[in-house]
Structure 1
Amino acid sequence: MGRKRSFPLINSQDYSARNQAERQAVNFVVQGSAADICKMAMIKIFMSVASSSSLTARLVAQIHDELLFEVEDSQIQEVAGLVKCTMESLHCVEALGVCLKVPLKVSLSTGKSWGSMKEL
């Protein structure tokens, strides 16, 4: 997705330094791509909520690949459907020429607090 990062120690004679650079190179692609997908989801969900006359959900936090929303009880099902559909649809981003070979699976939970979360 256009990210670039150099790993100067990737060809190091020092086994430990080279091994660490190799791990970082692999993680960079996986974690960077996950972050990009999550950011695209946040933007699309925000745009959908902002353009809706009835939805009032607010994105409260992003924790790695998880999004935490504050949603009125009466809107939970509608927002849950929007979030799930939006996030799962990002397995193929035609504008970037990126299409994953595996589907993105999204699980949703709801609750009044972290300790009371139940899967939807």
Structure 2
Amino acid sequence: MEGNVIFYFVPVKDIKAAKSLYRDTLGLEESWREGDYTVAFKLPGTNVELMVEQVSEGSLDAAGPVFLVPSVRDIYENNPGKLQLIGEPGETPDGLWLSAKDDSGNGIYFTDESKHAS
């Protein structure tokens, strides 16, 4: 499995409260938004961003790293039994997303830019 960590995903109950904490209290600079429920912040001294997303109550999402990989579909198809996968790949604006967990319940996420592939 090859990929670079590009985000650290933090699921939250209230995106407005989270934006206030990370932007106003902690002083992180907002780098982008996707709709009303996802916002990313620059982490000083690194290329990794903090991606904060409001999730529904009882969601299976857990905080964890997001790896940019060449193909989410390949990760999904070639690692049966090696990863505790949560569902099937889902679409993002740029490609696909796949959620998994480690043995301790921490989130591990994979994304690709397959919509930009030629």
Which has more strand, going by share of residues?
Answer: 2
Q: Could you tell me the TM-score, scaled by structure 2's length?
A: 0.29
Instruction: State the structure with more CA Rg.
Output: 1
* Greater relative contact order, per chain length (Cα 8 Å cut-off, separation 6+): 2
Which has more helix, going by share of residues?
Answer: 1
